[in-house]
Chain A
Amino acid sequence: MKRTYLGEFEEVVLLTVAVLHESAYGVAITDELDRQTGRSVSISAVHAALHRLEEKGMLKSQMGEATAERGGRRKRLFTVTALGSRALHDIRSMRNQLWDSISPNALPAISI
């Protein structure tokens, strides 16, 4: 099956964009990532990932409103494209398929 490769970080960022729906921009994504995954990532890393995802056609963007705390600068708001959505779904179904194929005793038990 021919598919587009998504790096792990790219995947998380893409998912976060989907989570934030219509209000996804650099800082918000960084914060959301921090909140949801506990990963403290730099803004530049997020920007780089967003930039790359846009180049790959999985994200599209438009300039949003400006706010005072941004010194009058506008946000770039990202939305997931159909291609992005497709990629996420592909990954998910692939993972599900893999999970389903694991025999019950194959994974060592995790004590909680």
Chain B
Amino acid sequence: MNSTSLGNGQPPRWADWLLEWFCAPHLLEEVQGDLYERFVRDLQTEGIRRANRRYWTNVLRFIRPFALKRKVNDYSPTPLFSPAMLQNYIKIAFRNLTRNKAYSTINIIGLSIGLAAAMLIMLYTKDEVSYDRFHAHHQALYRITSKSLTPNGAVDYLQPYTGIFPGPKFHEGVPEIMTFVRYREDTKDMRQGTEVKSQLIHFADSSFFSIFSFPLLTGNPKTALQNPKSVVVSEEVAEKNFGTINALGKTLFFKDDDKFEPYIVTGVAKKCPQNSSIKFDILMPMVIKDEDMANNENWFSVFMNTFVILSPDANLKMVEAKMNQVYVADAQESIKSVAKKLGITGRTVYSLQPFTDMHLSKELPASNGLVDESNPTFSYILSGIALFILLIACINFINLTVARSLKRAKEIGVRKVVGGARTQLIIQFLGESFILCFAAFLFSFMLLELALPTFNQLANKALSLSYLFDIKLVAGYILLFMVTSLLSGFYPALILSSYSPVQTLYSRVKLSGKNYLQKSLVVLQFALASFLIIASLTIYSQFDYLTSKDLGYNDKNLVIVDKANLKRSEANLLKEELVKNQNIVDVAPKNGGRWGTTAKINGETQVNFDYETVNEVYLPLLKIPILKGRNFSTVFPSDSSQSVLVNEAFVKKAGWKQPIGQVVDFWFRNKKYAVVGVVKDHHFESLSQEIKPQLFTMKLGNDYGKVLIKIKPNTETASLHFIEKTFKKLFPISPYSYAFMDQENLKRYESEAKWKQMMLFGAILTIFISCIGLFGLATLSAERRTKEIGIRKVLGASVATIVQLLSTDFLKLVSLSFILAFPAAWYAMQQWLNNYPYRIGINAWMFIATAIIAISIAFLTVSWQSLRAAMTDPVKSLKTE
């Protein structure tokens, strides 16, 4: 009831709207008429302002019961949820969904992929944040960490490790610390029958099982780790070694000082939960020698994790302060003597890290015997991708439903004419979207089950569908389902229900405007897809760069064999035996593990460096060039006690102009070594690190731990066989294991490898879902234009022209999406690459390739439908209707 012109003036619009809104419909006409009449008179006698004011007063005065009351209709409408109507809605929904199979399939596939992705990420995130929370005391549990401060008080570095002292000494000196446990990992040789293998084990104090909630299947948790020759094994290890989990009292043999000692199984533990930072297979009592406890300098030797339980009333800041008091008082002498030796005045400050923070901590990660440390960024990015995919699926749904709604316009018209209210229609369409989403929801569980194994592998998890039986997660999924249904159903329902019945019944409905929403959604979809394509291309190129870059040495055909505590004589013997075989080029022993220390240079500069214990064969074997000076040589017997080689980074850090002949002073030995050669920088670490100072020594006191064996190309099988045979002959009680150097190097990029896989999956899924959406839209647009195409063909248009006609619109949108995607992708990738000191530059080809990929995929998708439309016999299309 729009107000008609009243001549001179109009009553206040807002007042009129208010009246129209609250007044009972059957009274509105007369009331409004009276008010208008009065308004016109007021206008003439009192002027516009007064008339307006009076109009307002009059309207407000009508807010009284009789005017608000709704007259009972002569015919009561069918209630919204009457069984008959519900039945009808469902019937219509199913008819619609089954009649338009392509449409339903596209929507269900899209939505189920989207939902599955979102569910997967919820599963993942739930697992991530639930880490270490299963321990009964998890809220009172802390890890002792420390930070090194520079003399001016700035934080030099943080470390999550402690030595042997902090646990017992803080426990003694700080009353709030109720109990502590130290935990570290190591490898020990284990004998099974005649086989010897190197076994990963963990050492822990006897308080372990009272602090952590790892249930024992058999054995007494209080005493299990008290006897130094006892061992607690997981049910898997028990099963494997004894064939039963009833292993209490059985014996395992581990090597201590060159001979195998029996250890008695005092407990069998249940498998550690998947979301635990502590995962052990074999647990042994932590044995600390008395002389180590007596040596106060051990405050500075850090190599393990110490966990404490605080009393409930403890104040964290106070406890930390007390810990530092204890430390300063106890370590006073050692601090002084070290400061004197080194001339440094930096200091160490101890602090506490909540146990449950370890898993996702970037600064103090779960390392050194703790596993599964995780970068929270990974969760964010995964969630981002999953949201993208779900969003795109919802966009498809909205676009398709709205586009297809033209076909249903008549149904809407009829429903309205026979008395369907708008709310009824909205509920009906929402109901249809719920049915569709529900089908998608069921499918997504199947998809999830299919995708989990691959995902677990990529994310290094052991997630399973059984995780779903968690109230919060189930609630989350239901919420996800509801939100998705509403998100995708609400807008179409609103549009569809708004059609005017008169127009629909005369089939005059057109989508209003130029349908900007649909277009912008298509642009958004392809922008997201292009972004992910660029991201994948960049990550692929960077990965390729990392794995194929020249490392500065030759890692091909190099077999690494581990042999702990390899003596010089043994190494020589092994080499003699090995080179007898013509397949073996040369053999170079070196230290095992990674060693680093600090030296004072020229009496002042301090250099932190990695050092390798090698012999004269090592550098030539790896083809590492020597830039200045000479290699170690047997010609100079003093090499093994007084000479070192350093790399370029070392020289740079030390600031030497003339490195040969310079003196390196190892602070802890107070022994001086002369530099005899400079080695060209090579990447001994992963390429995500800059090349650090490195030093090579031949020092006799250092044991070897590894043997590098260069073999002739294509003799792997024979050579490996020979190496194993020789090794076992010489070292019958040492475990034998080998690895290829180049493969070991590749392992450093596992994280990048996972990233590129994830991105690729994300990109493929996004493109796929975007394309099925595009496909649907193209189908509808081709259908809508059937007649036009027929006429064009009759008038002589070629198939190519028609395909072009139908595709250009979509291709324009896809091209438009690049404008959004390219800058965003460029920025994001630049940020990511900045993490790498050695990296590729972002290249134009990535963008060009992305454009080509996106456009050609979109074109293929659209042209399929266009072609079909263009090839149809025009007689058919013109005859219909």
Could you tell me if A43 and B34 are in contact, using CB atoms closer than 8 angstroms?
A: yes
Known: A27-B34, A27-B38, A70-B37. A47 touches B62 (CB 8 A): yes
B58 at the interface (CB under 8 A from A): yes
Question: Closest CB-CB distance, B262 to chain A, in whole Å?
Answer: 102
From the candidates B30, B57, B64, name the one contacting A76 in the complex (CB within 8 A). Answer: B30
Could you tell me if B37 and A44 are in contact, using CB atoms closer than 8 angstroms?
A: no
Could you tell me if A69 and B30 are in contact, using CB atoms closer than 8 angstroms?
A: no
Interface flags, A71-93, vs B, CB<8A=1, else 0? 11111100000000000000000
Could you tell me if B29 and A73 are in contact, using CB atoms closer than 8 angstroms?
A: yes
Could you tell me if A43 and B33 are in contact, using CB atoms closer than 8 angstroms?
A: no
Number of A-B contacts (CB under 8 A): 73
From the candidates B33, B57, B58, name the one contacting A75 in the complex (CB within 8 A). Answer: B33
Could you tell me if B36 and A42 are in contact, using CB atoms closer than 8 angstroms?
A: no
B61 at the interface (CB under 8 A from A): yes
Known: A69-B7, A76-B30. A44 touches B36 (CB 8 A): no
Cα–Cα, bound, A26→B57 (Å): 16
In the complex, which residue of chain A has the Cβ closest to the Cβ of B5?
A71
Chain A residues whose C-beta falls within 8 Å of the C-beta of B41 in the assembled complex: 69
In the complex, which residue of chain B has the Cβ closest to the Cβ of A69?
B40
Could you tell me if B33 and A71 are in contact, using CB atoms closer than 8 angstroms?
A: yes
A95 at the interface (CB under 8 A from B): no
Question: Closest CB-CB distance, B70 to chain A, in whole Å?
Answer: 13
Question: Closest CB-CB distance, A47 to chain B, in whole Å?
Answer: 6
Could you tell me if A70 and B36 are in contact, using CB atoms closer than 8 angstroms?
A: yes
Question: Closest CB-CB distance, A55 to chain B, in whole Å?
Answer: 9
Interface flags, B396-424, vs A, CB<8A=1, else 0? 00000000000000000000000000000
Could you tell me if B34 and A47 are in contact, using CB atoms closer than 8 angstroms?
A: yes
B761 at the interface (CB under 8 A from A): no
Could you tell me if A74 and B40 are in contact, using CB atoms closer than 8 angstroms?
A: no
**Residue with the highest number of chain B CB atoms closer than 10 Å, among A43, A52, A67, A68:** A43
Known: A27-B37, A44-B58, A68-B7. A73 touches B64 (CB 8 A): no
B6 at the interface (CB under 8 A from A): yes
Cα–Cα, bound, A51→B34 (Å): 14
Known: A27-B37, A43-B35. A75 touches B30 (CB 8 A): yes
Question: Closest CB-CB distance, B36 to chain A, in whole Å?
Answer: 4
In the complex, which residue of chain B has the Cβ closest to the Cβ of A70?
B33
Chain B stretch 18-45: residues in CB contact (< 8 A) with chain A: 27, 29-38, 40-41
B494 at the interface (CB under 8 A from A): no
B304 at the interface (CB under 8 A from A): no
Could you tell me if B33 and A47 are in contact, using CB atoms closer than 8 angstroms?
A: no
Could you tell me if A26 and B31 are in contact, using CB atoms closer than 8 angstroms?
A: yes
B4 at the interface (CB under 8 A from A): yes
A94 at the interface (CB under 8 A from B): no
Q: How many residues of A sit at the interface, in one of the four size bands?
A: 20 to 34
From the candidates A30, A48, A74, name the one contacting B30 in the complex (CB within 8 A). Answer: A74
Chain B residues whose C-beta falls within 8 Å of the C-beta of A48 in the assembled complex: 64, 66-67
B194 at the interface (CB under 8 A from A): no
Chain B residues whose C-beta falls within 8 Å of the C-beta of A75 in the assembled complex: 30, 33-34
Interface flags, A27-56, vs B, CB<8A=1, else 0? 100100000000000111101100110000
Known: A44-B58, A47-B66. A71 touches B3 (CB 8 A): yes
Could you tell me if A69 and B34 are in contact, using CB atoms closer than 8 angstroms?
A: no
Chain B stretch 530-566: residues in CB contact (< 8 A) with chain A: none
From the candidates A30, A51, A74, name the one contacting B66 in the complex (CB within 8 A). Answer: A51
Chain A residues whose C-beta falls within 8 Å of the C-beta of B35 in the assembled complex: 43
**Residue with the highest number of chain A CB atoms closer than 10 Å, among B31, B34, B40, B61:** B34
Cα–Cα, bound, A76→B33 (Å): 9
Could you tell me if B66 and A43 are in contact, using CB atoms closer than 8 angstroms?
A: no
Chain A residues whose C-beta falls within 8 Å of the C-beta of B6 in the assembled complex: 68-69, 71
Could you tell me if B33 and A44 are in contact, using CB atoms closer than 8 angstroms?
A: no
In the complex, which residue of chain A has the Cβ closest to the Cβ of B24?
A51
Could you tell me if A74 and B33 are in contact, using CB atoms closer than 8 angstroms?
A: yes
Could you tell me if B4 and A71 are in contact, using CB atoms closer than 8 angstroms?
A: yes
Cα–Cα, bound, A26→B35 (Å): 9
Could you tell me if B62 and A44 are in contact, using CB atoms closer than 8 angstroms?
A: yes
From the candidates B4, B5, B38, B40, name the one contacting A43 in the complex (CB within 8 A). Answer: B38
From the candidates B3, B29, B61, name the one contacting A44 in the complex (CB within 8 A). Answer: B61
Chain B stretch 790-817: residues in CB contact (< 8 A) with chain A: none
From the candidates B31, B37, B40, name the one contacting A47 in the complex (CB within 8 A). Answer: B31
Could you tell me if B67 and A72 are in contact, using CB atoms closer than 8 angstroms?
A: no
Give 15 A-B contacts (CB < 8 Å), ordered by A residue. Answer: A25-B34, A26-B31, A27-B37, A43-B34, A43-B38, A43-B62, A44-B58, A44-B62, A51-B66, A69-B40, A70-B36, A71-B4, A71-B6, A73-B29, A74-B30
| A27-B34, A43-B38, A73-B36 known, 19 other contacts, Cβ within 8 Å | A25-B30, A26-B30, A27-B38, A42-B57, A42-B61, A44-B67, A47-B30, A47-B67, A52-B66, A63-B30, A68-B6, A69-B6, A69-B40, A71-B6, A71-B32, A72-B4, A73-B29, A73-B33, A74-B29
Give residues in B with beta carbon < 8 Å to A: 3-7, 27, 29-38, 40-41, 57-58, 61-62, 64, 66-67
Q: Which 8 A-B pairs have the closest CB atoms?
A: A73-B33, A26-B34, A70-B33, A44-B61, A76-B30, A69-B40, A71-B36, A44-B62
